[in-house]
Chains A and B, each alone.
Chain A
Amino acid sequence: MELDDLKAGWVELDRRVAALELIAPSRGAAAGVHAELRPLAWGQALQMMFGVLVAMVTGFFWVDHRDAAGLLVAGLLLHGYGIAMIVTAARNLVLVARTSEAQPVLALQQRVAALRAWRIREGRWFGVLGCFIWVPMIIGAFGLLGIDLVTACPWFVALNLLVSCAFLGAYVTVSRLVKVPEGRAVRRAQERLDEVARFAGGNAV
């Protein structure tokens, strides 16, 4: 079979579709890449809002507790976490906004696949941070009640850090052993990147 042998079928297909009519588009849900990226965009917008809230609250917190080293460090860590949430969400939202169906096919497909793959890796880093970030949260919560846990109960803080390490171990083990949806998403994003790379590199055919 030659590619040109398919032309007879293509001509017939062309003849048939010539008789079809499109219904004039009106309102409706977004289609294509924007529909595909919409959940990601919403998630990032929520993350950004939450990050702003965290950064504001913890910013005021560490400014108010500059005299207590433990509370200051906990406040700064949480503040940094909030800023990281804002920056990563903003970056992803800009990337989503820059996608357009009118871009050349390979450029758009590559951009979307790279964005998804990056977003998933970024999620893993936040997962690792999440194993530890609750410790400064607890320190901060007690700080709001006027208790400096680092000075008053250093053993409790140390114990929490040990638990965090256990959480990290469990997180890494579960991520490797269980095929969680995140794992499928990574695989699909990677498959898509590979597909674009194969096509662009000429090994797909």
Chain B
Amino acid sequence: MAHEERRRRCDALLHEYRRIVFKVAAVYAYHAEDRRDLAQDIALQVWRSFASFDPARPFATWLYRVALNVGLSHARRERDKPPMVGTEALDGLEGGSPIAEPDERLALLAGAIEALEPLERALALLYLDELPYREIASVLGLSETNVGTRIARLKQRLRRQMAAAAPDEEVRHGT
């Protein structure tokens, strides 16, 4: 594949699947500027690694791998930075329609994601993106059975988290 042709193909695929890039950036970077930089880092790495992409295989699976690996590296570098809490974290995304009130759904999502370890975030992201277990297994390098077990335990953990947070919520709401 000629250089220019490869470049065009890569750009087209990146454009088509850009939501994956931005969602990984949203999960691993806390600040709007960091998210922009991380999205660009992922795009750059995709372009650099594109020669290793086998067109016979699904691009999305390959992209998830690259994006998550770059995201995990970013998370390790930024480990000591304080996270942003609640809606601030995800409401800062450009492209959203202006909203007067903080979005509670995004606040819930951001709070839950922040509490997860970086590898768990990868699993949660793939699950929320509704990838089949087979594909999640291929992205993460686990067996399908293992994926099922990990997801079940992730759900349990979120339930425990919710149970632990519930008394605080009640106090805050005066109930």
Chain A residues with a Cβ under 8 A of chain B: 1-3, 5-10, 12-25, 28, 30-36, 100-109, 188, 192, 195-196, 199-200, 202, 204-205
Contacts and interface: CB of A to CB of B under 8 A. Distances in A.
Interface of A is mostly: helix
B119 A196 contact: yes
Interface of B: 11, 14-15, 18-19, 21-23, 26, 39-49, 52-53, 62, 65-66, 68-70, 72-74, 76-77, 90, 93-96, 103, 105-110, 112, 117-120, 122-124, 127-129, 138-142, 146, 149-151, 153-159, 161-162, 165
Nearest to B90: A13
Given A19-B94, A195-B119, 15 more contacts: A12-B106, A17-B26, A22-B14, A22-B15, A22-B39, A25-B47, A31-B45, A32-B41, A101-B45, A104-B140, A105-B65, A109-B119, A202-B149, A204-B117, A205-B120
Contacts of A36: 73, 76-77
Given A5-B108, A12-B106, A202 B49 contact: no
Contacts of B154: 3, 205
21 contacts: A1-B158, A1-B159, A1-B162, A6-B128, A6-B158, A9-B105, A13-B90, A15-B96, A16-B93, A17-B23, A17-B95, A18-B95, A20-B93, A21-B18, A22-B14, A22-B39, A32-B45, A102-B53, A106-B142, A109-B69, A199-B150
A91 to B, nearest CB: 22
A14 B158 CA distance: 21
A56 B124 CA distance: 54
Contacts, number: 188
A20 B107 CA distance: 20
